Amino acid sequence: MDQNAYPSSCRTLSAESDPMVELSGELVVLDTAGPLIYVGRLKRVTPHAFELIEADVHDMNDSRSTKDFYLLQIRDLGVRPNRAMVLVHRSHIISVSRLADITD
């Protein structure tokens, strides 16, 4: 379907308009100020959301570990998806990084 058929707020952005687009296809970590953390393959970036596929949505309230320790485990053992696809509103995200860039 032609992207022009979607409202402008839903259209995929270009690398020129948003540097996050350069991470498309990569395994990324979307960190929030709260207990949720999102890890998955970045499929699409819109003005208002990130679309992840094969994603793990993890609530740190359900875990005894820290976000840092959890991400080291995911980096070393692999992502265990619990969502085929998830849209994450950009206003909830405080940082974005490649999973491969997580260091000890």
Torsion of CA 80, 67, 27, 77, to 10 degrees: -50
Question: What are the chain's domains?
Answer: 3-96 (2.30.30.100)
For position 6, what pLDDT does the model report?
Answer: 45
Q: Taking the model in full, what pTM does it have?
A: 0.83
* pLDDT tens digit sequence for 45-71: 988 999 999 999 999 999 999 999 999
Q: Rounded distance, CA 50 to CA 86, Å?
A: 8
d(CA 17, CA 6): 18
With contact defined as beta carbons under 8 Å apart, do 56 and 38 qualify?
yes
pLDDT at 91 over 60: yes
Q: What mean pLDDT comes out for the span 84-101?
A: 96
Q: Which two tokens stand for residue 87?
A: 């849209």
